[in-house]
Amino acid sequence: MMRDLFKTLLIALAALAAGTTLAPNWVSSEGRAAQAETSSPVRILALGDSLTQGFGVPPGMDFPTRLERALKARNLAVTVINAGLSGDTSTGGLARLDWSLGDASNRPDAAIVELGANDGLRGLPVAAMEKNLDAILAKLKARNIPVLFAGMKGPRNFGGQYAADYDAVFPRLAKKYDVLFYPFFLEGVALDRALVQPDGLHPNPRGVDAIVTRITPLAVQLVQQAQKQRAGSPAQQGKQAK
């Protein structure tokens, strides 16, 4: 028995000398699962339209990919899931939310919601857009998923009242659900020809990076909220108590 103990000690010392950490064999399978859960990357669902999807930019230059890179540069373990769909409205985003969230085993830890631009471009009823976005935020809150909510500015060609009503939706919902809020997703980009594509609507690669630079501080807070939520989840507490 002493010989086996001595052999185990030598193996452990050799592993430490090589810079390797050995998980003790007395750690339960539940404990190993808990360690994996707390150390696994924070999964962020980016739910949006073409601005999220990356319309017109080369592969790897879309918003989710560039944001993931920016967060990793800050030593944050994250995976940003591209759930952007070109042409999508708030109605479409709501319709596919449950599918995007998946089941409890692979549900994202946090979400970025960027929807409403196409509602405005098409002059769709503001009240309907607000109802849809409200439902999206309510579903995410019910699942204890922290949210970074991105606002949009309404088009001015449908009249001043439409624009005013549209613009008011986003801060109102952000306050109602007490979520992180980025008032205008295209801030600093929308009116800069050097940062948008020829259509004047979608950001080019430089524009995407400009958005990422501006929104990253809030995204860092989102990751921190998700980490805190994960650490305090009943499932995780139950594993730690075993």
Which one of the listed residues 90, 167, 202, 209 is annotated catalytic? 202
For residue 86, indicate whether it is catalytic.
Answer: no
Which one of the listed residues 49, 50, 90, 109 is annotated catalytic? 50
What is the 3-state secondary structure of the chain?
CHHHHHHHHHHHHHHHHCCCCCCCCCCCHHHHHHHHHHHCCEEEEEEECHHHHCCCCCCCCCHHHHHHHHHHCCCCCEEEEEEECCCCCHHHHHHCHHHHHCCCCCCCCEEEEECCHHHHHCCCCHHHHHHHHHHHHHHHHHCCCCEEEECCCCCCCCCHHHHHHHHHHHHHHHHHHCCEEECCCCCCCCCCCCCECCCCCCECHHHHHHHHHHHHHHHHHHHHHHHHHHHCCHHHHHHHHC
For residue 165, indicate whether it is catalytic.
Answer: no
For residue 50, indicate whether it is catalytic.
Answer: yes
Catalytic residues: 50, 199, 202
